Structure 1
Amino acid sequence: MKKIISLFLLLFLYNISFSQELLATVQVNAQQIQGSNQQAFKALEKSLRDFINNTSWTGKKLQNFEKVKSNFALVISEKDGNRYKATLVVQAVRPVYNSTYESPLLNLQDTKFGFEYIENENLIFNERQFSGKNLIDVISFYVYVILGYDADSFQSMAGTQWFQKAQLVAQNGESQNTYDGWKQVNEPRNRSQLIREILNPNMSQLRSTYYTYHRAGLDNLFNQDQTGAKKVIFDALMQLKMYENSFQQNYYFDIFMTTKADEIFNIFDSNNNGGLVIADLKQLMMTISPKNTETKWNRWK
């Protein structure tokens, strides 16, 4: 858990509010498209970076050290005129108090990203209607999801207003039948499913766990005595037992485990766990994250 971050963390420690804008990097990879004008993809990369970082998503003016660090990686697989098919990887991190560590907030892969783009066109977002081209709609959806995740990690349920913005974008996307990834039927792991699950009252325990895990747990984990912070994280994770019979169909839950599995493993991969019954957590993790059993959970002592 040793990642170096910039001086902004020291300044961040004096800011008691949570971040609400993004500081994003963007990569566009078009190596699969042979013979295409690579300059157009560089223009797309710059346009998306400027769009994400320069749009006022929350109406607040923040310094860079206050913003949510994120990454959007776009791998384009098909091109037909001005229409493209791609995979989008979305990642975001959160600084942890009293440390140089950045905790992953979100790590997902959207494989159903089709869009239309003309080189150097202006990217302007209107939350009230679908753009018709799907590019800024998908990107804006994930921007609001990131803002929601970040806010939830600093204050219980504080991300609701941003998740509701994402839901509105999803509803606009569902109103058309041109692009995949928005439909509520026949498209498992789609954007509309994700935002419905996040805002579903049945998932309030996961959102509560998300807050406790970060704010009361991780933010105290780098104190000299880690015992209390580890117990908070342990107890928060054990609350997820209520999902052990339903996690398989839940996209939101799956993203949580995908994003946090390495971190959870590292936190408790030591002989200094303050008397916690790691066997109980191990059994739960093997149940709700079975794909990590051999590489992670079975390695806990």
Structure 2
Amino acid sequence: MKKIISLFLLLFIYNLSFSQELLATVQINSQQLGGSNQQAYKALEKSLRDFINNTSWTGKKLQNFEKIKCNFAVVIAERDGNRFKGSIVIQAVRPVFSTTYESPLINLQDQRFSFEYVENENLVFNERQFSGKNLIDVISFYVYVILGYDADSFQSLGGTPWFAKAQQIAQNSQNRNYEGWNVINEPRSRTILINEIINPNWSQLRSTMYTYHRAGLDNLFNQDQTAAKKVIFDALMQLKRYENSFQQSYYFNLFLDNKSDEIFNIFNSGNNGGLVMNDLKELMMIFAPKYSENKWSKWK
């Protein structure tokens, strides 16, 4: 009986650890356009929500509690017939075991989002080719980025298959006369982001994502936090190898922006088990000096 229970728990944890489908909310904000047809934006909102949540991205069927919580928020700034232009914010969180806390995985704003959409058209993803309208391509790209981030947080480099799909979408979208895909003259483009993630030079950051979340955060809410804090401390100190190369990296700086509040709060209790906080403080001040005054300098 004990063996059966143990096997059940193992399977439960395994399934939870590899939850790679989405539970997404979608918001379309068209306020900048004034009194234009709001029904079209409601239709777009529903179409995107259904597309993201009902497409089988990984071939797995999961219950809602296993899915990745995420949000896609689109601001429409311009419209010309069926052509739209604006920005999109992508957010996703990860549950922390034995808590109700949700750790931010990714939170980014893409300001180069233009696409074509006909009200109530059927949205179908084809990973082998560009859609021709850019809407499906951008959304699918970020879906696979989210899946990759989530998988990396549960298994070292576990997101590689999903990042590879995102990279394929980026390659399909090159030279299609839509902004946001270029590697030249477009800092923080989608292609730059995924190329950095896939680049072996940044594999240490991806490994840190795993250690930080799975061995660190998932054990942080034990009665004794000492071991978990040390794991997180050591994982972050491993990033010292990027001390001279991080400045121009979209992926690295996105990690710092997404995690700065959480990292600060983890070590702000004053009970850090003898860790040499000055070492981490100095490193964070190099990596993210804009947070020095309101975060890192407050560590004791």
**Bucket of the pairwise TM-score, normalised by the shorter protein:** over 0.9
TM-score, normalization: structure 2?
A: 0.95
8 Å CA contact 1:76, 1:84 repeated in 2: yes
CA deviation profile, 1:223-265 (whole Å, cap 9, x unmatched): 0000000000000000111111111110000110111000000
Q: Distance in 1 between matches of 2:124 and 2:53?
A: 13
1:15 to 7, 13, 16: 13
- Deviation, structure 1 residue 57: 0.3
1:59 aligns with 2:59: yes
- Deviation, structure 1 residue 12: 11
Q: Distance in 2 between matches of 1:100 and 1:66?
A: 14
- Deviation, structure 1 residue 15: 2.8
Classify the secondary structure of the residue corresponding to 1:225: coil
Q: Distance in 2 between matches of 1:116 and 1:39?
A: 16
CA deviation profile, 1:70-94 (whole Å, cap 9, x unmatched): 0001011111111111110000000
Name the residue aligned to 1:187: 186
Q: Distance in 1 between matches of 2:175 and 2:184?
A: 13
- Deviation, structure 1 residue 34: 1.5
Q: Distance in 1 between matches of 2:50 and 2:170?
A: 22
Classify the secondary structure of the residue corresponding to 1:248: coil
Q: Distance in 1 between matches of 2:284 and 2:297?
A: 10
Q: Distance in 2 between matches of 1:221 and 1:89?
A: 29
1:27 aligns with 2:27: yes
- Deviation, structure 1 residue 13: 10
Alignment of 1:18-97 (within 5 A): 18-97=18-97
Alignment of 1:133-152 (within 5 A): 133-152=133-152
Q: Distance in 1 between matches of 2:205 and 2:84?
A: 35
Name the amino acid aligned to 2:22.
Answer: L
Q: Distance in 1 between matches of 2:185 and 2:30?
A: 28
Classify the secondary structure of the residue corresponding to 1:125: coil
What fraction of aligned residue pairs are identical, expressed as a percent? 75
Q: Distance in 1 between matches of 2:31 and 2:191?
A: 30
Alignment of 1:241-280 (within 5 A): 241-280=240-279
CA deviation profile, 1:176-203 (whole Å, cap 9, x unmatched): 2x10000111111100000000000000
Classify the secondary structure of the residue corresponding to 1:15: helix
Q: Distance in 1 between matches of 2:278 and 2:98?
A: 29
Q: Distance in 2 between matches of 1:107 and 1:57?
A: 21
Classify the secondary structure of the residue corresponding to 1:16: helix
Classify the secondary structure of the residue corresponding to 1:24: strand
Unaligned runs of 5+ in 1: 1-10
Name the amino acid aligned to 1:104.
Answer: P
Q: Distance in 2 between matches of 1:160 and 1:175?
A: 25
- Deviation, structure 1 residue 35: 2.0
Alignment of 1:172-211 (within 5 A): 172-176=172-176, 178-211=177-210
Name the residue aligned to 2:5: none
CA deviation profile, 1:64-115 (whole Å, cap 9, x unmatched): 1111110001011111111111110000000001111000011111000011
**What count of residue pairs does the alignment treat as equivalent?**
290
Name the residue aligned to 2:282: 283
Unaligned runs of 5+ in 2: 1-8
Name the amino acid aligned to 2:30.
Answer: A
TM-score, normalization: structure 1?
A: 0.94
Q: 1:175 to 1:155 in 2, by over 3 A?
A: same
Q: Distance in 1 between matches of 2:82 and 2:95?
A: 39
8 Å CA contact 1:12, 1:66 repeated in 2: no
Aligned Cα RMSD in Å?
Answer: 1.3
Classify the secondary structure of the residue corresponding to 1:242: helix
Q: Distance in 2 between matches of 1:292 and 1:80?
A: 41
Q: 1:241 to 1:13 in 2, by over 3 A?
A: farther
- Deviation, structure 1 residue 270: 1.0
1:168 aligns with 2:165: no
Name the residue aligned to 1:6: none
Q: Distance in 2 between matches of 1:194 and 1:104?
A: 18
- Deviation, structure 1 residue 175: 3.9
